[in-house]
């Protein structure tokens, strides 16, 4: 009885070549680099959103303070507060700047005051800002 050995595999069935492995590594490397670029972009967006949330918080805080004072209070007088080009610096790093402007609306709405609060901050050599408006009745 003869022992039969399987036939030698043909050239097509011998496994992966070095060239196939190199191409697979290049494709994998490009994919990993593309995914790695997403992390810094996500971090930048998170910082921007945190600053926007902080600015919105301070705007709402200003509105709550102004709602608690009367129509004739000094903080509700017509004009810019703080006066001139001064600003309130806020936040843990003191990078947020706030001011608000009070106007009396013309007749027939002269029983309303419009308060526009402006928050601004610097981000990546550009000034970002947020404005919100509150109307107060006499």
pLDDT in tens, 92-126: 888 899 999 999 999 898 899 999 999 998 877 78
Evaluate if residue 14 carries a pLDDT over 70. Answer: no
CA 112 to mean position of chain CA atoms = 33
In 3D space, the residue among 55, 64, 125 whose CA is nearest the CA of residue 89 turns out to be: 55
SS3 112: strand
Which sequence spans correspond to the domains of the chain? 17-137
Q: Which of 129, 99, 132, 130 is nearest to 114 (CA)?
A: 132
Q: For residue range 37-73, what is the model confidence (pLDDT) as tens digits?
A: 877 777 778 888 888 899 999 999 999 999 999 888 9
Residue 127 to residue 118: CA distance in whole angstroms? 12
């Amino acid at each position: 009885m003869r022992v039969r050995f399987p036939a030698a595999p043909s050239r097509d069935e011998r496994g992966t070549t070095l060239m196939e492995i190199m191409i697979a590594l290049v494709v994998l490397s490009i994919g990993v680099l593309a995914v790695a670029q997403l992390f810094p972009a996500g971090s930048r967006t998170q910082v921007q959103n945190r600053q926007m949330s902080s600015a919105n918080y301070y705007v709402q805080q200003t509105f709550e303070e102004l709602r608690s004072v009367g129509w004739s209070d000094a903080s509700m007088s017509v004009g810019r507060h703080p006066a001139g080009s001064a600003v309130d610096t806020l936040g843990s790093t003191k990078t947020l700047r706030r001011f608000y402007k009070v106007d009396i609306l013309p007749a027939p709405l002269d029983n309303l005051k419009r308060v526009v609060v402006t928050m601004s901050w610097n981000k990546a050599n550009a000034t970002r800002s947020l404005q919100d408006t509150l109307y107060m009745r006499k």
